[in-house]
Chain A
């Protein structure tokens, strides 16, 4: 199978400092690809380079005809914007030339009630907002869905629901999913490939094979790593969210 994405020696430099250095990986269609690493490791930077939003060195080769949906980590939108969910989804549907009824369909797909369409975006809860952003990303039926810590502003319960949703959507839309996550439980459960980064690529491959104790210790430090393995039900691997 030809790769859907082939990244070779990706390097991103900001103000003379390498935020990401010589990272390489390749994804097959249908992969669930997780990027893990500590805060400031360059995870979001990799996503932004994949999206062509920042300059980089090295090669990023997408398969031809790829459509990308993107869910950013944080939206710095004005809470008082007079824009409701429908305005926002309609704006994307109209820009892509999609029929208007795609909006109602997609809002159900992400587990939101149609009534939410009339709610101003600033009045949504963290979980609703995240689902609305996922709905926005799904408009246009992307072949690749990129999510940057989709659960950063959601409580533990909502977090699991969002991960379940992403997993379900991946199956029904037959997408390749690229996700930055702090949650190793999710990575073990759903990811087909994982990339560990700390500015440089530390591991790449199936989680069960490459997430060795040595690697985990390198990424998260010894204390947190052991804690996780003895108490998997706790969110010990979760770090306070921040920008990579």
Chain B
């Protein structure tokens, strides 16, 4: 069994990944998609709890299904991605609530904190976070062109559909590693809030990306500390700290 510090280390890596994914999602104007996407994990968490397997395995599987479904809907129908995601979101929450018939397990799935951290999970979490950050770094040029104008992408040899799928998958992985701490309801906020605050505070791409990551990590660390010190709900504390950063960022006059 791992000690409390390993949880903190894992949370820092997960937060950095979430902050970077959030920065790109904000520029791509798909940030709400991520918030809603995390809810797709709920039925999977429910089934995993029911069948006594690792909740993240269940959550990850339904998340993957949801991502493929969203990607397909984005490509093939007239529905905007928002509408598509809305449909999947609502049905996921309903299905999850039906499957998880223990109130305690449902609260864990929604707000985080489920299960003790094993070595396997620790290593998987760190490796996944590093992978998400590295992959976004490699993809960044293609992402920038695609989010600026999908029309310009083909003439630069970029396949927009593929870039969008990779991004959704990385988004899903970032959600998955933070799910443990924040739960399905709150995990999206670690993607949205630090990126939004960083956008207020910065004027260049490099500064925006690093500030978003730094604010996500800082919110997590301060949240861990405050929740331990005052016996508060961990996930909720992290999100409130992030929200406080955002509120402060609004006070800074924007050029």
Contact = CB atoms under 8 A, between A and B. Distances in A.
Nearest to B254: A80
A77 B149 contact: yes
Contacts of A83: 27, 144, 148, 205
B156 A92 contact: yes
Interface stretch (B47-55, B108-116, B196-204, B241-249): B196-204
Contact of A82 (B142, B154, B203): B203
A84 B205 contact: yes
Contacts of B145: 88, 91-92, 95
Interface string B1-33: 000000000000000000000000001010000
Contacts of A77: 148-149
Contact of B142 (A68, A90, A95): A95
Interface string A64-103: 0000111010011110111110011011101110000000
Contacts of B68: none
A12 interface: no
Interface of B: 27, 29, 140-142, 144-145, 147-149, 151-152, 154-158, 199, 202-205, 207-208
A70 B145 CA distance: 13
A78 B29 contact: yes
A81 B148 contact: yes
A1 interface: no
A76 B141 CA distance: 19
Contacts of A82: 27, 199, 202-205, 207-208
A52 interface: yes
B151 A90 contact: no
Contacts of A61: none
Where chain B touches its partner, the secondary structure class is: helix
A137 B156 CA distance: 8
Contact of B141 (A53, A91, A140): A91
A153 to B, nearest CB: 14
A166 to B, nearest CB: 16
Interface in A128-182: 133, 136-137, 140, 142
A46 B24 CA distance: 32
A88 B144 contact: yes
Contact of A121 (B29, B148, B199): B148
A113 to B, nearest CB: 19
30 contacts: A51-B154, A52-B154, A53-B151, A68-B155, A70-B152, A70-B155, A72-B149, A72-B151, A75-B148, A77-B148, A78-B27, A81-B148, A82-B199, A82-B205, A82-B208, A83-B205, A87-B144, A87-B205, A88-B144, A88-B148, A91-B140, A91-B142, A91-B144, A91-B156, A94-B141, A95-B157, A95-B158, A120-B203, A121-B148, A136-B152
Nearest to A80: B199
A70 B157 CA distance: 12
B162 to A, nearest CB: 13
Q: Which of A69, A80, A92, A133 has the most CB of B within 10 A?
A: A92
